[in-house]
Amino acid sequence: MTLPLFPLRTVLFPGGLLPLRVFEQRYIALAKTCLRDDRPFGVCLIRDGAEVMGPDRAVPAFAPVGTLARIVDFDMPEPGILHLRSRGESRFRVVSHRVAADGLVVGETTAIADEAAVPLPADCRPLAQLVELIARRIGPLRFPTPVQPDDASWIGYRLAESLPLPLSVRQSMLEINDAALRLQVLRRFLQQQGLVA
């Protein structure tokens, strides 16, 4: 699949919410096209470089695994500034990329199959309770719904996006294709921090 890419200094997880403040013309055009055609765009973590391209149009180095993002709401509070609210969908891998004439990064991508649905193991219930606490603190407008407290992937993704983890660790959580393993790693981190028993 040919996909317009939006390299950012963040990791978007499937089912997660991503608010964006867009002011570069190429990304405003991207948003208009995605809204008009009901198409997603790809979000990839920037590993080196800047979100805003300079005059040399150097593409930042970005992670090869990203997440599709679909715009679910938008607003233009002032001319030239577009506020987007996007939701993460499935993951993909960038096989190659190029820069279009307008400076937009376009990738040739392959889909990564969704993880098999796995019920949350009984010993991970404290993790689900922590996610519920985070959801109450953040509020329903900024936390993904519907809540899926019995889905191991959903709980792992919500923890990985909410905990104060380095971006490289978040990226590794995105790239893991095993919900149980992701939960084990996150539980170990939370135990080290004294947040769960």
Q: What is the topology classification, in CATH, of domain 2-112?
A: 2.30.130
Domain-wise residue ranges, the chain: 2-112, 122-192
Task: Look at residue 18 and give its three-state secondary structure.
Answer: strand
Q: Fill in the amino acid letter for 155.
A: I
Return mean pLDDT, the chain.
92
Q: Is the pLDDT confidence value at 54 over 70?
A: no
Contacts of 38 (CB under 8 A, 6+ apart): none
Q: Is the pLDDT confidence value at 140 over 90?
A: no
Question: Looking at domain 122-192, which CATH architecture does it have?
Answer: Orthogonal Bundle (1.10)
Distance CA 173, CA 160 (A): 7
Whether the upstream peptide bond of residue 146 has omega within 30° of 0, thus cis, is: yes
Per the CB < 8 A criterion, the answer to whether 71 and 98 are in contact is: no
For range 16-22, the mean pLDDT: 95
Q: Is the pLDDT confidence value at 51 over 80?
A: no
Distance CA 83, CA 93 (A): 27
Tokens read off for 42: 């790809």
Determine the pLDDT at residue 102: 85
Determine the pLDDT at residue 52: 67
| Percent of the chain with pLDDT strictly greater than 70 | 97
What digits encode the pLDDT tens for the residues 105-118? 999 999 999 998 89
Query: Can you tell me which residue has the tokens 């279009």?
Result: 100
pLDDT band at 64 (very low <50, low <70, confident <90, very high): very high
Domains 2-112 and 122-192 share a fold: no
For range 11-30, the mean pLDDT: 94
Per the CB < 8 A criterion, the answer to whether 65 and 112 are in contact is: yes
Distance CA 117, CA 110 (A): 21
Determine the pLDDT at residue 53: 64
For range 142-151, the mean pLDDT: 89
For range 164-192, the mean pLDDT: 94
Helix, strand, coil proportions of the chain in percent (round to 5)? 30, 35, 35
